[in-house]
Structure 1
């Protein structure tokens, strides 16, 4: 029997991610694929086909539940760790694709530590991240940026960030900018406990050939520099930063 190819592809991707222990990504695929299967099952007139679909739904649903329990257990034990390796020149790695699944109503504040939010394109990357946070986290109250100054671009940097400060206020989000001369770590800390550590920080996208290339605005279509993304969970975030 042929199941809708969309569901097959999504579920295969889920199994692939599951095998690589990228559990939270696998869970998203399982949930999307399951929704397609359930919808198809409801509209299936043939009893034999419906039973086949029901069996597949139960199979993937059980695995999804097992993953939820595993992730919860690892979070409780402070052992959760998921790693994504971004290959040189690869695409499909927008901020939403990388960690959008963690951006929800539980996130009340976000701390971004990145020494290189200074030049025009770096501040644009930070703006893209702020847009994603505002759209995804309905209970977001403030964003804190810890970065460094560059004497050559300091005036522009302050101006660009002040524009963002003013605009974020329209969405009832406070932007707090702090500077450090010794900052090296690059990480995004969510108040819900998730910590996303990107080796290159926000600036891992390659420049487009010109301003009218695909990928100029849609970062899923933009080629990337090689880097590693580590995702961990800490129960101490609220105590440390709240």
Structure 2
């Protein structure tokens, strides 16, 4: 392995661990835990590649410090989950970027996740339907085995044809991937909530529709939602040992 490659891995590790510390200090523990784990793995890869004993000792010390902190956070999060007190809030600022569905939901997706409930009254217009499709794609790519997605939304009174045909196409497409889309409509739904059967509940003030319209079809952020500007909204995350069903 070349020196440049080792240096690149170290730079990546420092960047991820810096983010872990920032999240840790702002009380976003579950997110920080994911970053600590990624950063520690990168540092361990660096350690394997380094031959100098003094440098190896330095990396071992760093790894131990980060591992100890990760264990403390894990114990804290598990205790709060057990006590039913877990609550974390993410404030997405106006025009902020870096909040794709992958980034937002990754810390709460685990290998035990098999079923998801989405309550969102606004999965109607074209861009909202695409948001839901992107959310489903994110679940399919994640390290979980989702088998069923429940969607509770309201019917588009102006153009229900487009909504129903789009959701029917998604249902068929998901079915080909071995995932059942259970679709229900409600005329009284107001709250927005996403629930995972591993106990996590994510409430986004604006539901899945927190991205701004891109400036044009060929402007940065049109394809990559990490680069798409957001509307201001709050994300509240809870954990319950008993996830209710719709």
Normalising by structure 2, report the TM-score. Answer: 0.93
CA distance in 1, matches of 2:140, 2:48: 36
CA distance in 2, matches of 1:207, 1:47: 53
* More displaced stretch, 117-126 vs 48-57: 48-57
Report the CA distance between 1:104 and its aligned residue: 3.0
CA distance in 1, matches of 2:114, 2:31: 22
Are 2:219 and 1:218 equivalent residues in the alignment?
A: no
Are 2:169 and 1:163 equivalent residues in the alignment?
A: yes
CA distance in 2, matches of 1:40, 1:105: 27
| Cα contact 1:106–1:137 (8 A) shared by 2 | no
Three-state SS of the structure 2 residue aligned to 1:91 is coil
Report the CA distance between 1:213 and its aligned residue: 1.5
Report the CA distance between 1:137 and its aligned residue: 5.2
Three-state SS of the structure 1 residue aligned to 2:96 is coil
Matches within 5 A, 1:1-242: 4-136=10-142, 138-237=144-243, 240-241=244-245
CA distance in 1, matches of 2:202, 2:60: 37
Query: Structure 1 stretches of 5 or more lacking a match?
Result: none
Report the CA distance between 1:138 and its aligned residue: 4.2
Three-state SS of the structure 2 residue aligned to 1:118 is coil
| Cα contact 1:107–1:140 (8 A) shared by 2 | yes
| Cα contact 2:110–2:198 (8 A) shared by 1 | no
* More displaced stretch, 156-165 vs 33-42: 33-42
Q: How many residues align?
A: 239
Query: Structure 2 stretches of 5 or more lacking a match?
Result: 1-6
CA distance in 1, matches of 2:69, 2:172: 46
CA distance in 2, matches of 1:138, 1:10: 23
Report the aligned-residue RMSD.
1.5
Report the CA distance between 1:40 and its aligned residue: 1.7
